[in-house]
Structure 1
């Protein structure tokens, strides 16, 4: 026999059109989820702008599981990335809002209040019924998609495809510094660059801006795969990047990088987090080997979509990709774009490398959660030496 609740739903569905019922039911579910959501503290912005827009809410509601492949994680630590600063100013809003609408993560038709933050380390507290790889109580690390509410909060919603078990030899603060840069570097070298780590031993890679979050991770990953690593940095970071395994360090404060590179062998791979003129200049140092690749992380799709709208932005980005490919071919290789993409399987591999002491986290500074504004300011000033991390443990 059906319950009174089920009978009510069935009779309501029969009385309304399918479209009207669907709207009513979605609205009712949202009201239910909102009423039962966990209250938490979260750093949020209510409109796009500068660092002064960031404020702490102590009455925010954690996102609730709406799909059987989702899980809720209590966050113990989260890092701040330059992407968070850019998203605070509105970067990617047009395309991301299309994704948020598709994923049903908009609040009353708007992205605000917007919680920033992409990566984290924490403990699983609730799982959807189709979750098979994780259970309540598991310690995990991960980097979530930009369409989701962010990780600079006490809880975050994620899926099992975005996370991995936390390395057993890292604290939560150390672990939180890795997932975003790991997923981004993996997307650049493995997914877009099509690097086969079993066949690159002895090959040469140039990692530009080696002392930042991407650079410090990429150097270690390339060395774990047996590559010869050349990198660029300033004088005060030379010792750091050498300690991470860089074979050849070019100090851009003491010499002209492009002139100096003319005296080196050319490279099978170049990782460029900077873009712009740097990409054009660096492409000249690709090996004439037909499979050499320069991968830049200055991906213009979100920027073009912000300036022109989603469809024109996609069109312009496609044209720009064609020109970039032609420039690369002139240098004997190819020039490609890459961007952050959540990847739990990549984090599985990185976890094993961390536990084998082949990769270590590089943390410049740790801030208590309540001092997030100071942490954002540090990241905004640039010239980082690794990552800046928020510690959510009670003071």
Structure 2
């Protein structure tokens, strides 16, 4: 089968950054699905993994952790899916990625594809949806029946995770959402996603919140520079509030800033359950199915904003280059490898 991989970190502008190559079709293990990939998306994790390949590999590494496709074959212990099922998932960072014709993934982290979306619209969602859902409902432990009407600040509202987190927070958790955005187009996007108000993350966040008569917030989702915003987050979080970040710190965080408020700080890493095969790994299957229902009911929409066409070394380079700008709105996607143009 054809796959797109990388042997060594090179800038996304380098023609050798990615290579098209042939590899054997993998055999599904006990709970694996062999999926024919119909569309993929690119996330910051892809560019970070690529940047970490500092010694040249003999076999190219296949990246990609956002896919939608059709089940072709199942492992001996699979019970949730059958050949022909349409699915969506992010996968596991400890296994080869989905930038290939066919891809293996554990059924416990796979969901039923939303019927209302195209392959490309679907591929924009899995990784960011799992991240946002786990951040809101697992790490911050939000319950809509208890916490409805409370306020969440989303730092980085127009990005991939921010876009779906805004929808889930406003339409599922029934929270008041304040998103950060700085350009006219990103402000409008955040409002379209369900944010009630927007503030500028290039300005002092405390002053920005005071400007809209909200000096403190109950929850904060940090989808940008944790080091830059940590001290401010400690100032603006309400006593006994909770903060969740997905962006790793480069320097020690002073957790003592949260002590007097008895405030909680949590990390969210959506690969944790698959990496460690936790007892509750099946929760990702369940949440993807639940979000698929919300999509089909018209509650949640795709965050896809652009398609770069069929997956190839060239289109994947372009996708990585765009993600690395750090200024994307929503998600960009690629359709599956064009097997008729080999």
TM-score (norm 2): 0.86
- 1:335 is aligned, of 251, 257, 265, to 265
Q: Which residue number corresponds to residue 335 of structure 2?
A: 391
- Give CA-to-partner distance per residue, 1:104-143, whole Å, 9 cap, x none: xxxxxx7942111101000000001111110000000001
How many Å apart are 1:153 and its aligned residue? 1.4
Tell me the distance in 1 between the aligned counterparts of 2:118 and 2:316: 20
Q: Which has the higher helix share?
A: 1
**Where do 5+ consecutive residues of structure 2 fail to align?**
275-283
Are residues 119 and 279 of structure 1, via their aligned partners in 2, closer, same or farther at CA, if it must alter by over 3 Å?
A: same
- 1:359 is aligned, of 288, 300, 305, to 300
Q: Does 1:374 align with 2:337?
A: no
- 2:25 is aligned, of 43, 62, 65, to 62
Q: Do the aligned partners of 1:47 and 1:112 also contact (CA within 8 Å) in 2?
A: no
Structure-to-structure mapping, 1:90-109, within 5 angstroms: 90=52
Tell me the distance in 2 between the aligned counterparts of 1:233 and 1:223: 17
Q: Which residue number corresponds to residue 283 of structure 1?
A: 234
Q: Which residue number corresponds to residue 257 of structure 1?
A: 205
Q: Do the aligned partners of 2:243 and 2:265 also contact (CA within 8 Å) in 1?
A: yes
- 1:297 is aligned, of 220, 226, 246, to 246
Tell me the distance in 1 between the aligned counterparts of 2:108 and 2:70: 16
Q: Do the aligned partners of 1:42 and 1:153 also contact (CA within 8 Å) in 2?
A: yes
- Aligned to 2:288, the other structure's residue is in SS state helix
Q: Which residue number corresponds to residue 287 of structure 2?
A: 346
Instruction: Report the structure number with the largest CA radius of gyration.
Output: 1
Q: Which residue number corresponds to residue 42 of structure 2?
A: 80
Q: Does 1:161 align with 2:108?
A: yes
Q: Which residue number corresponds to residue 272 of structure 1?
A: 222
**Where do 5+ consecutive residues of structure 1 fail to align?**
1-39, 94-109, 305-319
Size of the alignment, in residue pairs?
Answer: 316
Tell me the distance in 1 between the aligned counterparts of 2:329 and 2:167: 14
Q: Does 1:245 align with 2:194?
A: yes
Tell me the distance in 1 between the aligned counterparts of 2:166 and 2:105: 28
User: Aligned-residue CA RMSD in angstroms?
Assistant: 2.2
Q: Do the aligned partners of 1:75 and 1:154 also contact (CA within 8 Å) in 2?
A: yes
Q: Do the aligned partners of 1:324 and 1:336 also contact (CA within 8 Å) in 2?
A: no
Q: Which residue number corresponds to residue 5 of structure 2?
A: 44
Tell me the distance in 2 between the aligned counterparts of 1:74 and 1:117: 14
TM-score (norm 1): 0.75
Structure-to-structure mapping, 1:1-20, within 5 angstroms: none
Q: Do the aligned partners of 2:101 and 2:337 also contact (CA within 8 Å) in 1?
A: no
